[in-house]
Structure formats: structure tokens, C-alpha cells
């Protein structure tokens, strides 16, 4: 096994399992459409809440799709093979998270114009939304991968434990939605974007190590 | 000076859950040796192999690899080890060829056509692993023995699900490996016909 062959096979695997990604995207679209139907479909309400709605839906969809990201690897013995491969486990994890991120965020960005239009998002806010997603979503995946690693050997309650990860999403959610809201009412938003970038960089540094430690513990169990 | 043992295990303690699997287990392994670990179901054979690899924690004891203490950090050992456990680590949604490309990326499958023929895998190269039989999947995992060059083979019940022809093929390969100076640690519950490994009784 090499880093490159690992990256290739992970991409191939996600492609073979594309139905899972599609399901998460479908879930995203459904959640986003439920808000106007359930609360208020007037442009006044939707323009100000669009950022929050899209970010809540994204966080849930991400959590859903990556909560089981190591499950198959655990069951088929791959985790053990990673551990004895002589390769650096945090880096393998980083590669796997990158693949997951690319496969989810690329289609999400593609359907975003439709979703944004549905929520009456102005053009400038739309681009701010894209920026928040690009800068903030890596941390969603990185932090989520810690949760997935922690719960990989649990038969029951894995989803419940994943919800424990949600509080760590709150700062990301706050900075992302405040950036979008600020742009909607003409206030500066670069500070919030910078914070999102900072959180992503921070999780880039810590999450692979924490996930690697959890995986080692799960395999040892 | 006498050259160092391939592996030296001293006073190993392994506990799993409530059970002490072994206490003060000591043995050493020389280059070219084939060692079979004996013990009933649940004795702790798999745990011992994993403890050597570092995926199961050891409570006490030390492990030397070529004279170097690797108890705290097995990365040097891992670089020269091929491990095939109960679960072999094949990706079910990938084909045989894709799995081999994952684990043995620097060889071309075409160069190994004869052995893949002999293992009966040649017609199935492009079939996803979840459509293979148990024995075919095990053969796919074991084909890594032919496709990679590592000194230490750790094989946990490699013969399970194999038919007689594949068992013989594997025994022959193990023999060759040991003649070439490689080391094999294995567990199995079936009698071996052509090789006589050194036996290591595993009991508390
Ligand atoms: N994940 C685990 N957590 C806790 N205890 C475990 C775990 N896996 C195995 N054990 C315990 O460790 C003991 C040894 O198990 P092990 O798998 O090493 O046995 P074995 O000798 O390989 O058996 P077999 O011949 O069936 O393969 C058993 O009592 C088992 O209950
Ligand atoms: Mg066993």
C-alpha cells in the first residue's frame, strides 16, 4: 500500500458507493425545501435565513454521510491493514477525509445556485455562501471524522454519539451564517470568513491525530 | 559477535478484557524459521500475533526486532511485514485487480499472470470481491505473498476456506520463503503436510 494507491482506491470506493452521497444530497435538498414550506415562504423571511438554513442542512448532511466512514474498513479488516502498512496513519486519515470532502462538496456546490434561488439569496450573498462553504466545510469533515473514528466499533448508539460532535460545529455555524447575514445587510464579512479559515486550519492540524488515536483504540478494543 | 535474533520476545503479558492471555511469555525467532502457534479456540493466538504487530496493546514485556527495541514504536517492523488476519482487508466493492492495485501498487499484475492462473484468480480479476467465494477471496488476499517482498509474514489461519490444492500451494510458498531466509508466524487448526514448523504452545 502507498499513499497514492490508498487515495485512488478510496476515490474508486466512493464512486462505487455514490448512492450514499446522493442520499445525503437528497436529504440536504429536502431539509432546505421544508423550511419555506413549514415556516414562511415570503422573500423577506427567506433572504435573512437562507444562510442559516443552508448551513444547518449542510452540517446534518455531512454528519450523516461521514458518521459511518470507517465502518466498512473496521469490519473488513482494512483498519488493521492501515495500522501495519508502515504508512503514517494521520496522513491516511487526511487523505480519506479529503476524498470524502471532494465527493460531497463538489456536487453540493453544483446544486447550490438552484437552492440559493429558491431562498431568494442575492447574488453577492450567494458568493459569500460559496466562500463560507469552501472555507468552513473542511472543518465539518475533519471534526466529524473524529466522531466517526470514536464510534467505529460501537454496535448501537453510534449516531447518538455522533450528535456529541454537533456542539463542535456550533462556532463554524455561527461564523458562516453571520458572514452571509452581514453581506445581506451590507456589513463587512471578511472577519467571519477569516475565522472559518482559522477553524479549518486548526482542525486540519489536530483532527487527523485525534482520529488516528481513536482508530488505534478501536482496533485494540 | 553473534548476530541478533530476528525477533526476541521477553516476558510478554497480554490481557484482554478480564482475561490474562499470556504471562511471561518469552521466545525468540531466527531468520528462516517457520513458527506455528498452537492453542485451542480462544487461547489467544490471534491476540499474540496482533500484540507483536502492536494493534493489541501489551501490558508488559519487550519486543526486539533485529536487536532493536520496538516495543514502543513498531514502524520499522511494519515496513518489513505482511499481515493477513481473520479479516483480510479486501474492499468488497472493488475488483480483485483493484484490490491488488491497492495493496501491491508497484507491481504489474500482468507480470504475475502464471501465479494468478495457478491460484485460479486469473478469470476473476475484474470481478468485485463481494461476488467471490470465501476461498477465492482468501486466495486473493494470499496472492499478496507472491506479489510483495517482505521478510516477516504473519498469517492468522491462512488455510481457512482453502481447498487442498491451494493449501499445498501455500505450504510450498511458505517453505520457499523460509529457505530464502524469511520468517513466518502462523496459526492453523489443520495438519500441515509438507512443512514442519517449530511449534509454540500457547497456554497460560
Ligand atoms: N475485541 C476483543 N475484546 C476483548 N476480548 C477479546 C477481543 N477479541 C478477543 N478477545 C478475547 O481474547 C481471547 C483470545 O482471543 P483470540 O482471538 O486471540 O483467540 P484465538 O486463539 O485466536 O482463537 P481462534 O482459534 O478461535 O482463532 C478470547 O477469550 C476472546 O474472548
Ligand atoms: Mg484466532
Q: What is the ipTM of this complex?
A: 0.92
**Residue B82 banded pLDDT, cuts 50, 70, 90:** very high
| Average confidence score pLDDT of chain B | 91
Asked if residues B114 and A112 have their Cβ atoms less than 8 Å apart, the reply is no
For residue range A40-88, list pLDDT tens digits in order. 888 888 888 889 999 999 999 998 888 889 999 999 999 999 999 999 9
Query: Per-residue pLDDT averaged across B50-60, rounded?
Result: 92
Query: Per-residue pLDDT averaged across A13-31, rounded?
Result: 94
**Residue A166 banded pLDDT, cuts 50, 70, 90:** confident
Cβ distance A13 to B55 less than 8 Å, yes or no, reads no
Give A6→chain B minimum CA distance, Å: 6
Inform me whether the pLDDT recorded for A162 exceeds 90.
Answer: no
**Residue B1 banded pLDDT, cuts 50, 70, 90:** very low
For residue range B138-182, list pLDDT tens digits in order. 999 999 999 999 999 999 999 999 999 999 999 999 999 999 999
Q: Rounded to whole angstroms, how far apart are CA atoms B170 and A88?
A: 31
Q: How far does residue B180's CA lie from ligand 2's centre (Å)?
A: 27
Per-domain boundaries in chain A: 3-220
- Tell me what pLDDT residue A39 has: 86
Specify the range with the lowest mean pLDDT, choosing from A110-119, B27-36, B49-58, B190-199: B190-199
Asked if residues A101 and A141 have their Cβ atoms less than 8 Å apart, the reply is yes
Q: How many CB pairs under 8 A join A and B?
A: 75
Scanning every residue of chain A, which has its alpha carbon at the shortest distance from the alpha carbon of B86? A77
Inform me whether the pLDDT recorded for A145 exceeds 90.
Answer: yes
All cell numbers assigned to A44: 423577506
pTM (2 d.p.) = 0.93
- Tell me what pLDDT residue B173 has: 95
- Tell me what pLDDT residue B22 has: 85
Q: Rounded to whole angstroms, how far apart are CA atoms A190 and B91?
A: 44
- Tell me what pLDDT residue B204 has: 57
Inform me whether the pLDDT recorded for A104 exceeds 60.
Answer: yes
- Tell me what pLDDT residue A157 has: 66
Among all bound ligands, the one having the nearest atom to the CA of B41 is: 1
Non-local CB neighbours of A25 within 8 Å, separated by 6+ positions: A61, A104, A107, A108, A111
Query: Per-residue pLDDT averaged across A127-133, rounded?
Result: 95
CA A84 from centre of chain: 28
Q: How far does residue B36's CA lie from ligand 1's centre (Å)?
A: 17
Query: Per-residue pLDDT averaged across B107-114, rounded?
Result: 87
Give A52→chain B minimum CA distance, Å: 37
Backbone angles phi, psi at B156, to 5 degrees: -95, 105
Beta strands in B17-50 (DSSP E): 19-29, 34-38
Listed by number, the residues of chain A in 71-130 with a beta carbon closer than 8 Å to a beta carbon of chain B are 72, 75-78, 80-81, 83-86
* Alpha helices by DSSP H, chain A: 3-16, 18-38, 43-66, 71-75, 78-83, 89-118, 123-150, 158-163, 166-184, 190-220
Question: B34 pairs with which residues across the strands?
Answer: B184
Asked if residues A144 and A67 have their Cβ atoms less than 8 Å apart, the reply is yes
**Residue A158 banded pLDDT, cuts 50, 70, 90:** low
- Tell me what pLDDT residue A97 has: 97
- Tell me what pLDDT residue B172 has: 94
Amino acid at each position: 500500500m502507498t499513499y497514492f494507491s490508498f487515495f485512488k482506491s478510496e476515490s474508486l470506493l466512493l464512486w462505487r458507493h455514490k448512492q450514499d452521497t446522493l442520499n445525503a444530497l437528497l436529504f440536504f435538498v429536502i431539509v432546505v425545501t421544508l423550511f419555506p414550506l413549514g415556516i414562511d415562504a415570503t422573500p423577506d423571511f427567506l433572504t435573512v435565513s437562507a444562510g442559516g438554513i443552508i448551513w444547518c442542512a449542510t452540517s446534518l448532511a455531512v454528519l450523516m454521510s461521514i458518521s459511518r466512514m470507517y465502518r466498512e474498513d473496521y469490519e473488513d479488516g482494512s483498519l488493521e491493514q492501515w495500522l501495519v502498512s508502515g504508512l503514517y496513519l494521520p496522513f491516511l486519515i487526511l487523505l480519506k477525509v479529503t476524498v470524502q470532502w471532494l465527493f460531497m462538496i463538489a456536487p453540493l456546490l453544483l446544486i447550490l445556485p438552484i437552492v440559493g434561488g429558491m431562498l431568494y439569496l442575492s447574488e453577492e450573498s450567494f458568493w459569500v455562501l460559496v466562500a463560507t462553504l469552501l472555507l468552513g466545510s473542511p472543518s465539518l469533515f475533519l471534526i466529524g471524522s473524529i466522531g466517526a473514528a470514536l464510534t467505529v466499533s460501537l454496535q448501537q448508539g453510534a449516531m447518538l454519539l455522533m450528535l456529541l460532535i454537533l456542539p463542535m460545529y456550533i462556532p463554524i455555524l455561527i461564523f458562516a451564517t453571520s458572514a452571509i447575514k452581514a453581506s445581506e445587510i451590507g456589513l463587512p464579512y471578511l472577519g467571519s470568513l477569516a475565522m472559518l479559515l482559522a477553524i479549518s486550519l486548526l482542525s486540519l492540524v489536530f483532527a487527523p491525530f485525534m482520529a488516528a488515536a481513536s482508530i488505534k483504540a478501536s482496533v485494540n478494543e | 559477535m553473534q548476530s541478533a535474533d530476528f525477533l526476541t520476545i521477553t516476558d510478554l503479558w497480554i490481557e484482554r478484557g478480564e482475561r490474562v492471555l499470556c504471562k511471561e511469555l518469552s521466545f525468540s525467532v531466527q531468520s528462516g524459521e517457520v513458527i506455528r502457534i498452537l492453542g485451542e479456540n480462544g487461547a489467544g493466538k490471534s491476540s499474540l500475533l496482533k500484540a507483536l504487530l502492536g494493534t493489541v496493546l501489551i501490558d508488559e514485556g519487550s519486543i526486539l526486532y533485529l536487536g532493536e527495541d520496538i516495543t514502543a514504536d513498531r514502524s520499522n517492523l511494519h515496513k518489513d511485514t505482511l499481515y493477513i488476519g481473520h479479516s483480510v482487508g479486501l474492499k468488497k466493492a472493488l475488483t480483485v485487480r483493484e484490490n491488488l492495485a491497492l495493496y501491491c501498487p508497484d507491481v504489474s499484475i500482468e507480470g504475475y499472470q502464471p501465479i494468478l492462473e495457478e491460484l485460479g484468480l486469473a478469470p476473476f480479476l475484474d470481478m468485485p470481491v463481494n461476488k467471490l467465494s470465501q476461498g477465492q477471496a482468501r486466495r486473493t488476499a494470499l496472492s499478496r505473498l507472491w506479489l510483495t517482498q517482505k521478510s516477516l509474514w504473519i498469517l492468522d489461519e491462512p488455510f481457512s476456506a482453502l481447498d487442498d490444492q491451494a493449501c499445498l500451494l501455500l505450504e510450498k510458498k511458505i517453505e520457499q520463503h523460509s529457505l530464502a531466509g524469511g520468517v513466518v508466524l502462523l496459526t492453523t487448526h489443520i495438519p500441515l503436510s509438507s512443512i514442519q514448523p517449530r511449534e509454540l504452545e500457547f497456554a497460560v
